[in-house]
Amino acid sequence: MKHKIQQPHVVIIGAGFGGLRAAKALADAAVQVTLIDRYNYHLFQPLLYQVATAGLSADEIAYPVRGILQKQKNLNFRLAEVSRVNLEKKKIITNQGEFSYDHLILAVGSETNFFGNQTLAQNSFSLKNLTDAEKIRSHILYQFEKAAMEKDLEKRKNLYRFVIVGGGPTGVEMAGAISELIRLVLKKDFPNLNTEEVEVILVEAIDRLLPHLDKSLSTAAMHALQKKGVQVQFGKVVESYDGEVVRFQGGEKLPAATLIWAAGVHAANLVDHLGVEQASLKQARVLPTLQIPDYPDVFLIGDAAYVEDKEGKPLPMVAPVAMQQAEHAVSNLKAMLNGEPLEPFEYKDLGSMATIGRNQAVAQLGRFRFRGFLAWLIWLFVHLMQLVGFRNRMVVLLNWAWEYISYDRAVRLLKSTPCESEER
């Protein structure tokens, strides 16, 4: 598809945090860049749970890639879904034809990990893209519409039981936001709603939430969730879910019309076909320089790459790692083009955080730990500043301010008709 060009042709697959950062870092390089993604927008994943709980609209956390990179003269964007990469022939096979490359940066990210459980893959909700988030929003709202017409108490309680599996940031943020949506907003929409009938249950297999943070913050997060009406249950492993009843290891059953699966991700399926040794979450084991073994022209970064820190612990699959790796891969690529030696990647951990509803969060920044309202303000500031584009920032800020002042959620639209929203 590409004309012969003088400058080296660098292809980047994926316009997530890693791919986008790599594209920008190549702006001043003497190369031609093609950025490929199956969507035409960059998704700000950390706020996806807000779309799922009617706090923000989909459009507020997604920004057109062409808009972001409009001024970058050495870059072309291509909307295409990549099915395979042929490392030998340096070809990328997509639904829009083949692309060839001189250098490749793979930033293909991760997918929801159902650990091979088909009942979960089919009947639970996950939260990886905009469609997922809008499906969860419609589904939650539809349960309340159905329950408003349901006379049988047991059936009503099953409609009102929301099970979230996974005590990581996504699970914690979803549980807090769902509970607030119900208790602060839907309570007003449904005057006859008895919130005693509603249960938001966060289930975690191990004995604490947010295991990547300090234990004191895990406990703080648990208390904050409980205060917001979330039941936190530890040591429970889901065995199956048929859309009506959750079955746990050990035999316990829990009827629930909603199960949200936030128990983990694995590297994108594309990695399976690279022929590279993979770690437990399917990530490719890359060299310390972030190159793929035997293919020095191919860099692999972000969630799909397996890299260990100095203590031999794998780096987390989070945006800051992907962005630092993007900068590093591009710097190594430039060194290669200049015939200079490549450097090994080192991750600078700047901290992590999770929010719990409209005024609580926990944050660990270097040696500092924050909780409560102060942590929430830090979370708010950090995320708002990272949103792409002035307009998005303004609209999101306005939305948040409005929501905060009025206890209202603006975007509680049930877009699909009842029958459609039953499909998952």
Let me know: does 56 contact 397? Beta carbons within 8 Å: no
Whole-number minimum distance, CB 400 to a copy of itself, in Å? Answer: 11
DSSP assignment string, 314-364: BPPSSHHHHHHHHHHHHHHHHHHHTTPPP---------EEEE-TTS-EEEE
The residue within the footprint of a copy of itself, chosen from 84, 215, 273, 391 (CB under 8 A), is 391
Q: Which is nearer to a copy of itself, 190 or 347 (CB)?
A: 190
**What x/- string results for residues 108 through 137 when contact with a copy of itself is judged by CB under 8 A?**
----------------------xx------
- Is 215 near a copy of itself (CB under 8 A)? no
- Tell which positions 181-200 bind a copy of itself, by CB under 8 A: 188-191
- Is 358 near a copy of itself (CB under 8 A)? no
- Is 374 near a copy of itself (CB under 8 A)? no
- HSE-CB at 338 with a 13 A cutoff on CA atoms is 11
Let me know: does 18 contact 302? Beta carbons within 8 Å: yes
Q: What are phi and psi of 295, to 5 degrees?
A: -125, 80
**Segment near a copy of itself (CB under 8 A), from 16-24, 142-150, 196-204, 331-339?**
142-150
Which two structure tokens, joined as six digits, stand for 392? 């998005």
- Is 350 near a copy of itself (CB under 8 A)? no
Q: Residue 389 carries which DSSP code? A: S
The residue within the footprint of a copy of itself, chosen from 7, 28, 89, 97 (CB under 8 A), is 97
Count other C-beta atoms under 10 Å from residue 413's C-beta: 12
Tell me the C-alpha distance between 203 and 166, whole Å. 6
- Is 407 near a copy of itself (CB under 8 A)? no
- Is 399 near a copy of itself (CB under 8 A)? yes
Q: Which of 334, 93, 352 is nearest to 214 (CA)?
A: 352
The residue within the footprint of a copy of itself, chosen from 115, 373, 381, 402 (CB under 8 A), is 402
Q: What are phi and psi of 176, to 5 degrees?
A: -65, -45
Q: Which of 89, 113, 92, 110 is nearest to 36 (CA)?
A: 92
Q: Which is nearer to a copy of itself, 40 or 233 (CB)?
A: 40
In terms of C-beta density within 10 A (0-12 exposed, 13-18 middle, 19 or more buried), how is residue 154 classed?
exposed
DSSP assignment string, 239-297: EEE-SSEEEETTS-EEE-SEEEE-S-EEE-GGGGGS---B-TTS-EE--TTSEETTEEE
- Tell which positions 148-177 bind a copy of itself, by CB under 8 A: 148-149
Whole-number minimum distance, CB 317 to a copy of itself, in Å? Answer: 23
Sign of the torsion angle spanned by Cα atoms 384, 386, 391, 396: negative
Report the alpha-carbon angle 248-251-256, nearest 5. 50
The residue within the footprint of a copy of itself, chosen from 48, 163, 222, 414 (CB under 8 A), is 414
The residue within the footprint of a copy of itself, chosen from 49, 101, 125, 142 (CB under 8 A), is 142
Q: Which is nearer to a copy of itself, 60 or 199 (CB)?
A: 60
The residue within the footprint of a copy of itself, chosen from 100, 119, 145, 279 (CB under 8 A), is 145
Whole-number minimum distance, CB 389 to a copy of itself, in Å? Answer: 8
Count other C-beta atoms under 10 Å from residue 288's C-beta: 12
**Segment near a copy of itself (CB under 8 A), from 245-253, 297-305, 375-383, 390-398?**
390-398
The answer to whether 173 is a known catalytic residue is yes
- Is 58 near a copy of itself (CB under 8 A)? yes
Bridge partners (DSSP) of residue 353 are: 363
Identify the active-site residue in 173, 180, 204, 403. Answer: 173
- Is 227 near a copy of itself (CB under 8 A)? no
Give me the active site residues, please.
173
Residues lying near a copy of itself in the complex (CB under 8 A) are found at: 1, 38-41, 57-60, 62, 64, 66-67, 70, 73, 78-81, 95-97, 130-131, 141-142, 145-146, 148-149, 188-191, 389, 391-392, 394-395, 398-399, 402, 406, 408, 410-415, 417-419
